[in-house]
């Protein structure tokens, strides 16, 4: 008894390859094959490019948030003073900072004084938020103490003021120039409170990578900020940085215990949670939409295979008469469709990966061709289009494309396998 050939034998591959490269005059559908191939390639390219930009956006926003802001802000509940004012300042901030620094997982603790003032120079004005911070704590902020994007020396911070690049540009000042800070809640006199105006030399200009931070933020030495904002001997809050900022839930209770009875905490996830959730929803919606695009491209394989089965009806009848089994016929046409899906997926992965890797020159070219102004950082918050290529994103795109290609290929392949050889040869 003759032994049946194994699945996907060499002759099945040979027949499938002959059908794929056959010309239309020979009953092939090479044009439809190319259309299917290009469709799959573009769909996978679009999916990988979108996933890379999505990952880049989230990583860039999170990095700028974590690199220039506290992971956890510790403050106190308000206490009513004898004058009827609500006092939220922290009197024993050094002791609280020491307790917070001992919490496992905490990497940095810095007392802060905060206030909003008007900055002025050479007839130009800008509203800024001033952070009072010790010089030794400022140098530990990654996005602020970045020498590649900064101007001036952060070592001279104790002798002046540090400005965001957007604030410096608005005021038209550089390192060595002098600006004035104007606070409405300033000097207390017998006749009330009068505005306070102090002049400071610009010793450092930073770029945090976030437009909203660079155009509104300034830093003063802690002692100077305490004097300027009438916070002598107290702090407004304490910023805390931790080893795992993405996993803050286990640290909430230890931080609250270290903060004391009146202590409260506010994490970066609390501040930016709505934005991050909106990003996640948008990511899921975009993936679904682009998955439909891949499905539409995969349907071109079905139309091509149906035409191939119709044109090769006589060949199928002859092959079945010669003893080819239904399974072999099914595998021949499955190979035809799957080969198109695999080749298109591979080409799409290459194009999508190249797009993510060389996104900066590509975006620069598009910006030049459009006459500039394509990317507005005041709207998007960051200065360039980011992209990060993750293996998980590539694998999800590959799995989706190959899965859909293989599934849709089965139906026309089964139709070919079930074709009656007598009917196929009746009119030949």
- Name the 3-class secondary structure at 70: coil
Nearest residue to 182 via CA among 200, 167, 165, 168: 200
Spatial CB neighbours of 41, under 8 Å, sequence gap ≥ 6: 344, 345, 347, 348, 351
Beta-carbon contacts of residue 339 (< 8 Å; ≥ 6 apart): 16, 20
* Rounded Cα distance, 293 and 306, in Å: 21
Q: Decide: residue 233, CB within 10 A, 0-12 exposed, 13-18 middle, 19+ buried.
A: exposed
The pLDDT score that the predictor gives to residue 1 is: 43
Tokens 């999508």 belong to which residue? 352
Q: Are 219 and 154 in contact (CB under 8 A)?
A: no
Alpha helices per DSSP H over 152-267: 165-171, 211-214, 222-228, 252-259
pLDDT (tens digit per residue) in 221-257: 999 999 888 888 889 999 999 988 888 888 889 999 8
Stated as kind and residue range, the H or E segment containing 76 is: strand 72-76
pLDDT class of 30 with cuts at 50, 70, 90: low
> Is the predicted pLDDT of residue 318 greater than 60, yes or no?
yes
| Higher-scoring residue by pLDDT: 170, 194 | 170
How far apart (Å, rounded) are the C-alpha atoms in residues 126 and 93?
Answer: 31
In this predicted model, what pLDDT tens digit does every residue of 51-70 receive, in sequence order? 888 888 887 777 777 778 88
Other CB atoms within 10 A of residue 236 CB: 22
Return the SS3 of 206. strand
In whole angstroms, what is the distance from residue 186 CA to residue 193 CA? 6
Residue 353 clears pLDDT 70, i.e. is over it: yes
pLDDT of 376 > 60? The answer is no
How many degrees, rounded to 5, is the angle at CA 172 between CA 168 and CA 175? 60
The mean of the pLDDT values for the chain is 81
DSSP class of residue 157 equals G
Secondary structure letter of residue 210 according to DSSP: B
At residue 106, does pLDDT exceed 70? yes
Q: Cα 254 to the chain's mean position, in Å?
A: 31
Alpha carbon distances (Å) from 309 to 299, 371, 418: 15, 51, 11
The pLDDT, as a whole number, for residue 412 is 77
Tell me the CA distances in angstroms from 78 to 86, 90, 100, one per residue in order.
Answer: 5, 10, 20
Measured in whole angstroms, the distance separating CA 78 from the mean position of its chain's CA atoms is 37
Burial string for 379-388 (b: 16+ CB within 10 Å, else e) reads: eebbbbbbbb
């Amino acid at each position: 008894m003759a032994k049946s050939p194994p699945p996907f034998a060499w002759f099945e591959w040979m027949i499938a390859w002959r059908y794929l490269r056959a010309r239309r005059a020979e009953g092939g559908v090479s044009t439809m094959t190319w259309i299917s191939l290009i469709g799959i390639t573009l769909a996978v390219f679009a999916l990988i490019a979108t996933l890379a930009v999505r990952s880049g956006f989230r990583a860039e926003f999170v990095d700028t948030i974590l690199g220039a802001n506290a992971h956890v802000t510790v403050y106190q509940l308000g206490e009513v003073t004898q004058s009827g004012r609500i006092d939220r300042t922290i009197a024993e901030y050094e002791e609280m900072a020491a307790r917070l620094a001992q919490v496992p997982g905490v990497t940095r603790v810095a007392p802060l004084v905060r206030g909003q003032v008007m900055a002025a120079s050479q007839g130009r004005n800008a509203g800024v938020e001033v952070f009072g911070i010790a010089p030794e704590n400022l140098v530990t902020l990654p996005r602020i103490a970045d020498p590649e994007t900064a101007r001036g020396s952060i070592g001279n911070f104790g002798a002046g003021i540090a400005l965001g690049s957007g604030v410096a540009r608005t005021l038209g000042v550089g390192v060595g120039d002098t600006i004035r800070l104007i606070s409405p809640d300033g000097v207390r006199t017998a006749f009330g409170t009068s505005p306070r105006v102090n002049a400071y030399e610009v010793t450092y200009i930073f770029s945090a990578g976030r437009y909203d931070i660079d155009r509104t933020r300034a830093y003063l030495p802690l002692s100077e900020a305490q004097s300027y904002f009438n916070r002598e001997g107290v702090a407004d809050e304490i910023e805390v940085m931790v080893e795992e900022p993405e996993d803050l839930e286990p640290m909430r209770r230890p931080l609250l215990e270290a903060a004391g009875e009146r202590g409260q905490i506010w994490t970066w996830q609390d501040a930016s949670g709505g934005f991050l959730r909106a990003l996640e929803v948008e990511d899921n919606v975009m993936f679904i939409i682009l998955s439909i695009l891949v499905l539409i491209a995969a349907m071109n394989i079905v139309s091509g295979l149906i035409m191939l089965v119709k044109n090769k009806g006589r060949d199928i009848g002859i092959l079945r008469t010669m003893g080819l089994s239904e399974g072999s016929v099914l595998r021949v046409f499955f190979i035809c469709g799957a080969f198109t899906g695999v080749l298109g997926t591979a080409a799409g992965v290459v194009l999508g990966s190249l797009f993510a890797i060389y996104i900066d020159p590509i975006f620069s070219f598009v910006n030049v061709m459009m006459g500039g102004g394509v990317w507005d950082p005041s709207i998007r918050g960051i200065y360039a289009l980011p992209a990060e290529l993750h293996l998980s994103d590539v694998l999800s795109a590959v799995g989706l494309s190959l899965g859909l290609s293989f599934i849709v290929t089965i139906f026309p392949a089964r139709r070919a396998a079930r074709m009656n050889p007598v009917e196929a040869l009746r009119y030949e």
